[in-house]
Chain A
Amino acid sequence: METHKDVVCTYCGCVCDDLEIQTENQQIIASKYACAIANEKFLVCRKERNLSPLLRVGGDLVEAELDDTIERAAHILAAAKYPLLYGWSNTSCETIKVGLELAELVGGLIDNTSSVCHGPGIEAVQEVGEVSATLGQVKHRADLIIYWGCNPGSGHIRHMSRYTLAQGRFRSGRKDRKVVVVDVRSTPTSKVGDEFVKIEPGGDYELLTALRMAIRDEEFEVDKVAGVPVSKIEELADLMANAQFGALFFGLGLTMSKGKSENVTAAISLVDDLNSRTKFILMPMRGHHNVTGANKVFTWQTGYPFAVDFSHGYPRYNPGETSVVDSLARGEPDAALIVASDPVANFPKPAVANLSKIPIIVIDPSLTATALLADVVIPTAFLGVECAGTIYRMDGVPLYTKKIVEPPPNCLPDTLILQKLLKRVKELKGV
């Protein structure tokens, strides 16, 4: 039996790096410190997976040699006029780098999952900036924690115990902090909060604006905003302005509800205002373990965090036009490479309908709904379990994940698969 210490978890954006994993004969037999989600994944993921490269022959997916799948995939990409390369948030930065080179080579559209989750939040950052800090700053200093439109209690299970409510240098754990939850309904998170502010669906922008007014001591002409009594808003504004260090975490409840990027812009502006009174930061609760890294690698190589179109020979960015769902809905891509993602299960119907009409290559450890529609399916090793690579935590702290067991014979790291694919496409294109 072997014990692996300081293992980096590759499930949610918390990227806990303190796990202990026990292995025996190349099998994971136990884990320590992992949350329920991670535990389940570490113990189960390797059992329910795709072990074989597959090719569509006639109407069916049949088992194939790895080299043959790469060959077919390369031909699809080389022949395509405007391929889509999508996914990237559940894989390593090393893989994303190869993906970007491939996208540039084939003049395609490359997008990552933030396009359909925190994309509006990123557009808000491009509007007004972002006042943030690493999670350790919150652990050491914050006396006020606000969770807005997010539910770490079931989505980011260790967010509170590791970061926001942990023992810090200047705060001794839970008792030194006040926790406020703003949401449209009560959740496991709201139950542990000191305050729960129940807001009408779609009322985020109004409430954020009202809070900004209250902080500036402006008078209200109404009794309620977004279903919240004005007295409560003023109380919350006081709480925020009088905190020594406040931290506002927001989730898809804010980013994806009515108003989208305006909501986040209002939240950022609220935090900007608060900094003239005290110290305040905010942070999106990023879901996938490396969605932050995907944004970062995209940005340092192309200038833009997602939705990058290479069809003109240089990176072009125009969300709404160059974002995956919009482009698919217009039926633009004529082939798709999907890496570590399952758009068929998640995208709106018109996008899925058009996706299903074009050749699809799936590179993923699991047999996803998208894989079942694909022409080429290439299984991969699990990042952070069967292969190593860099990922970025939701606060931008980079961590290098480990390999703890050998992958099955046909499951290579996706970095390697993409490198082979890139090499072959280059040959086919004569470059």
Chain B
Amino acid sequence: MEYIIRGGIVYDPLNGINGEKMDIAVKGGKIVESVSSGAKVIDASGMIVLPGGVDLHSHIAGSKVNAGRIMRPEDHYRDVVVKAGLTRSGVGYSIPSVFTTGYRYAEMGYTTVFEPATTPLKTRHTHDELADIPIIDKGCFPLFGNNWFVMEYLSRGEIDEAAAYVAWTLEATKGYAIKVVNPGGGERWGWGGSIKSIDDPVPHFNITPREIVRGLCQINKMLNLPHPIHVHPNGLGKPGSYETTIETMDCVRDFSDGRPAIHLTHIQFEGYTGTNWLNIGSGGDEIAKYVNGNPHVSVDLGQIVFSDTTTMTADAPFEYQLYLITGNKWTNADVEAEETAGVVPYVYRRSNYVNAVQWAVGLEVALLAKDPWRVFLTTDHPNAGVFTEYPRVISWLMSKKAREKVLSKVPRNARRRTMIAGIDREYTLSEIAILTRAGTAKILGLKNKGHLGEGADGDIAVYSLNPERIDPSTDYRIVRRAFRHAKYVLKDGELVVNDEKVVRVVEGRTYWVKPKVPKDLYESVISDLRSKFDNYYTVKMSNYFISEDYIGRSAPIYTGGD
């Protein structure tokens, strides 16, 4: 099928195109220079044309997401999705069922989404769900920050062996990047305690969180993985957490080579000053200052949206604290030799002082950060807000007026302890395109995504937003409406959303990496694994391995190791 998207105003930051009126041609699933006269015409005049959205951090699949769904029928009752011809039924709100997740992302103009935390032992479950999510491309990040093999190899200084182990596990689980959550703290939680700082020793393992993060960062480089280590630091969610966050970023500064070596995720959750819940304040400016001065770091926001949602993370001790604070229901799920996880429902309220500070932190980081290529838009779905609220976050970034409207409703002391009221910056459409697709595709190392140059995947979003007519700074409601419901979306060159409705359901790819490691090192590590696997796990090594034909439309990325 050939398409020509005619007359739209194109934002394609990776190719230096900033609001130019031009045609985009698509053929055979790819963006091409030109198409035949028989190509179908999509009239995009008076609309903006962007590459399909790329989300690098959204909890859409796997055991903890499903634990949230099981625990919260009340969440589903208020958002039901009726079967309609092409599309399956389901439920929505904060933890949408799989089909609904795919449709809603597509309707928003997003075509690629990564599930950012999967414990290797249960990653088959994650793929089971990913396979059921229609339309979008996807992938998942296995967790390594509390892994026994990783901690043991690193504590013995066996970095090559650790790297070979990580390579094997990425292949075995069909994972895409190294995820680290509360390094060492999950192992500690296996006994019910928590880790306080990045230099706290992990009991029984003769290692500290700092050493785990450094080791995994080095391994990431050795394996030449497409995405930097994706880190949720220790101490998340606590007053004063910004210091541990900066220490965590700083502990790998020497790995800097001009591009990011570490990605700190949902930075809002770990950017607080203060010593208790009464004097908690925003460390957004401190974080932004560090990010601005250190090109080895990238971050995503984890922006708060005021709503009723479901928090879920591999940081089980954090969820336990949240359970104690709220008294809400609590799910905990620890995984042998690997990780922990927890789920607790939560309501963010404008009238709540702490929530208002949290809201400010994310926006301050975004608005004070100088390089949009290292700051990305997320709500850590569904932790800080549901992904369908991205357009609201976009409106806050693009409009001081929209922010002031929220600020007028938050407690006065929250205004005092944050800087947000004094920040005038308003994001441009081109910068929004970076935060939501160009920058995320680049940091994920997806060369065919996030841009509209020749050879890129035919993933395109057209929104009814005419920058010649409307001013996002004042017309922020129109911006919100436009980004919530894309007018047209193409996925791999097929029209999947027409006039804001899903009209075609295609199967997305699953990306994963297969790093190359020297053969004899790989074999010696496999034999070490074989001898220990039965002791560490309650499943056999052969059953732990997920074969490629299991994961549907497999899209491996081969990386050359040293």
- Listed in ascending order, the chain A residues whose CB lies under 8 Å from chain B are 5-6, 8, 17-18, 93, 97, 101, 104, 122, 125-137, 139-141, 162-163, 167, 169-170, 244-245, 272, 275-276, 278-279, 281, 295-297, 299-305, 310, 312-317, 390, 392, 396-400
Distance (Å) between the CB of B473 and the closest chain A CB?
A: 39
Given contact pairs A126-B71, A316-B80, enumerate 11 new A-B contacts (beta carbons under 8 Å): A6-B543, A17-B540, A97-B132, A133-B336, A134-B121, A137-B190, A139-B336, A278-B192, A281-B334, A310-B89, A317-B76
CA of A331 to CA of B315 in the docked complex: distance in angstroms? 48
Q: Provided the pairs A296-B125, A399-B539, A400-B124 are in contact, do residues A301 and B99 lie with their beta carbons within 8 angstroms? A: yes
Chain B positions 536-560 with a Cβ under 8 Å from a chain A Cβ:
536-540, 542-543, 546, 550
A-B contact pairs, 23 of them (CB 8 A): A6-B540, A18-B540, A93-B128, A122-B70, A129-B323, A129-B329, A131-B331, A133-B332, A134-B333, A135-B538, A136-B335, A137-B336, A162-B538, A169-B536, A299-B69, A301-B88, A301-B99, A301-B132, A303-B90, A312-B82, A314-B89, A396-B122, A398-B125
Please give the distance in Å from A262's CB to the nearest CB on chain B: 15
Indicate whether A303 sits within 8 Å of B125 (C-beta atoms), given known contacts A17-B539, A139-B538, A275-B192.
no
CB of B482 to closest CB in A, whole Å: 28
Minimum CB–CB distance for A195 against chain B, Å: 23
Known contacts A6-B543, A315-B80; A300/B129 CB under 8 A:
yes
Q: Which residues of B contact A316 (CB under 8 A)?
A: 80
Chain B min CB distance to A267 (Å): 14
Q: Could you say which residues of chain A place their CB within 8 Å of the CB of B204?
A: 170
- Residues of chain B within 8 A of A302, CB atoms compared: 89-91, 97
Q: Report A-chain residues with C-beta under 8 Å of the C-beta of B360.
A: none
Residues of B near A390 (CB, < 8 A) are 124, 128
- In the complex, B153 has a CB within 8 A of chain A: no
- Minimum-distance CB pairs A-B, first 7: A136-B336, A279-B192, A303-B91, A129-B329, A133-B334, A303-B76, A398-B124
Q: Which of B70, B88, B97 contacts A125 (CB 8 A)?
A: B70
Please, which residue of chain A has its CB at the minimum distance from the CB of B192? Answer: A279
Q: Determine if A317 and B73 form an interchain contact, defined as CB atoms under 8 angstroms apart.
A: yes
Specify which chain A residues have a CB less than 8 angstroms from the CB of B73 in the assembled complex.
126, 303-304, 317
CA distance A276 to B61 in the complex (A): 30
Distance in Å: Cβ of B330 to nearest Cβ of chain A: 4
Of chain A, the residue at the smallest CB distance from B62 is: A300
B320 interfacial by beta-carbon distance below 8 Å: yes
How many Å lie between the Cα of A312 and that of B81 in the bound state? 10
**Whole-angstrom distance between the alpha carbons of A238 and B109 in the complex?**
57
* Contact A131-B535, Cβ < 8 Å, known A279-B190, A299-B70, A305-B70: no
Is the C-beta of B343 less than 8 angstroms from some C-beta in chain A? Answer: yes
Is the CB–CB distance between A397 and B329 below 8 Å?
no
Confirm or deny: B63 has a beta carbon within 8 angstroms of a beta carbon on chain A.
yes
Cα distance A295–B125 in the bound complex, in angstroms: 13
Report the Cα distance A149→B129, complex, angstroms.
Answer: 33
**What's the Cα separation between A158 and B226 when bound, in Å?**
43
Partner of A398, one of B61, B122, B537: B122
Beta-carbon contacts under 8 Å, B174-209 to A = 190-192, 204
On chain B, the residues within 8 Å of A130 by CB distance are 67, 71, 331-332
Decide if B332 touches A131 in the complex (CB within 8 Å). yes
Q: A125-B70, A398-B125 are in contact. Are A137 and B335 (CB under 8 A)?
A: yes
Distance of B285 from chain A, by nearest CB (Å): 36
Within 426-442 of B, Cβ neighbours of A (below 8 Å) are at none
Task: Tell whether A303 pairs with B335 under 8 Å between CB atoms, given A162-B538, A314-B82, A314-B89.
Answer: no
Rounded to whole Å, the gap between the CB of B120 and the closest CB of chain A is 11
Nearest-neighbor residue (CB-CB) of B123 within chain A:
A398
CB pair A315 B550 closer than 8 Å: no
Find out whether the CB atom of A244 lies under 8 angstroms from the CB atom of B335.
no
- Specify which chain A residues have a CB less than 8 angstroms from the CB of B67 in the assembled complex: 130
Give per-residue flags for B107-127: 1 if the beta carbon is below 8 A from chain A beta carbons, else 0: 000000000000001101100
| Smallest beta-carbon distance A235→chain B, Å | 22
Count of chain B residues near A, Cβ 8 A = 59
Would you call B469 an interface residue if the criterion is a C-beta within 8 Å of the partner chain's C-beta atoms? no
Contacts of B97 in A (CB 8 A): 299-303, 315
**What CA separation (Å) do A399 and B71 show in the bound complex?**
23
| Alpha-carbon distance A167/B534, docked complex (angstroms) | 10
Contacting residues, chain B, for A93 (C-beta < 8 A): 128
A368 to B391, CA, bound (A): 55
A303 contacts B343, CB within 8 Å? Answer: no
> B427: shortest Cβ distance to chain A, in Å?
35
- Select which of A131, A134, A315 is within 8 A of B91 by beta carbon: A315
CA distance A169 to B122 in the complex (A): 20
Nearest-neighbor residue (CB-CB) of A402 within chain B: B543
B66 touches A104 (CB 8 A): no
For B70, the chain A residues whose CB sits under 8 A away are 122, 125-126, 295, 299, 305
Query: Which B residues touch A162, using CB under 8 A?
Result: 538
Q: Contact partner of B89 among A104, A126, A135, A297, CB < 8 A? A: A104
A275: B residues at CB distance < 8 A: 192, 320
Residues on A with C-beta less than 8 A from B347 are none
Q: What's the minimum C-beta distance from B243 to chain A, rounded to whole angstroms?
A: 27
CA distance A310 to B324 in the complex (A): 37
Q: Which chain A residue has the least Cβ–Cβ distance from B324?
A: A276
Bound Cα distance from A238 to B76, whole angstroms: 40
A-contact 0/1 string along B341-376, CB 8 Å cutoff: 001100000000000000000000000000000000
Between B69, B192, B538, the greatest number of chain A beta carbons within 10 A of the residue's beta carbon is seen for B538
A397 B539 Cβ-Cβ under 8 A: yes
**Given that A17-B540, A133-B333, A140-B336 are contacting pairs, would A125 and B71 also be in contact in the complex, using a CB cutoff of 8 Å?**
yes
B56 to nearest A CB, angstroms? Answer: 22
Query: Which of A17, A134, A244 sits near B334, CB closer than 8 Å?
Result: A134
- A104-B88 CB under 8 A given contacts A279-B191, A299-B70, A313-B82: yes
Report B-chain residues with C-beta under 8 Å of the C-beta of A8.
543
| Closest chain B CB from A85 CB (angstroms) | 15
Are A315 and B542 neighbours in the complex by a CB distance under 8 Å? no
Residues of B within 8 A of A170 (CB): 204
Residues of chain A within 8 A of B525, CB atoms compared: none
Quick one: which of A127, A167, A245, A314 contacts B191, CB cutoff 8 A? A245
Residues in A neighbouring B320, C-beta threshold 8 A: 275
Task: Looking at the assembled complex, report how far the CB atom of A366 sits from the nearest CB atom of chain B, in whole angstroms.
Answer: 27
Is A300 touching B81 in the complex (CB atoms < 8 A)? no
| Complex contacts, B262 vs chain A, CB 8 Å | none
Chain B residues lying within 8 Å of A135, measured Cβ to Cβ, are 336, 538
Q: Which residues of B contact A122 (CB under 8 A)?
A: 70
Of the candidates A6, A303, A310, the one having the most CB atoms from chain B within 10 angstroms of its own CB is A303
CB of B72 closer than 8 Å to a CB of A: yes
Q: When the two chains form their complex, are residues B190 and A127 in contact, meaning their CB atoms are under 8 A apart? A: no
Contact pick for A134, options B132, B324, B335, CB 8 Å: B335
Q: For the complex formed, measure the closest distance between the CB of B127 and the CB atoms of chain A, giving whole angstroms.
A: 9
How many angstroms from the CA of A281 to the CA of B320 in the assembled complex? 13
B83 at the interface (CB under 8 A from A): yes
Q: Of A281, A296, A314, which is within 8 A of B80 by CB?
A: A314
Cα separation A312 to B330 with both chains bound (whole Å): 31
Chain B residue, CB-CB nearest to A276: B324
CA distance A335 to B334 in the complex (A): 42
Point out the residue from B124, B148, B335 that lies within 8 Å of A133, measured CB to CB. B335
- Are A129 and B343 in contact (CB-based, < 8 A)? yes
Q: Which residues from B are CB-within-8-Å of A131? A: 330-332
User: Complex: how many Å from CA A398 to CA B89?
Assistant: 25
Tell me, rounded to whole Å, the shortest Cβ–Cβ distance linking A60 to chain B.
Answer: 39
Using known A-B contacts A126-B70, A135-B538, A137-B336, determine if residue A397 contacts B99 with beta carbons closer than 8 Å.
no
Set of chain A residues within 8 Å of B88, measured between Cβ atoms: 101, 104, 301
B170 at the interface (CB under 8 A from A): no
CB neighbours (8 Å) of A129 from chain B are 71, 323, 329-332, 343-344
Bound complex: CA A167 to CA B540 (Å): 16
Interface status of B337 (Cβ within 8 A of chain A): yes
Residues of B with C-beta under 8 A to A5:
542
Q: Does B216 contact A (CB under 8 A)?
A: no
Report if B314 contacts A (CB, 8 A). no
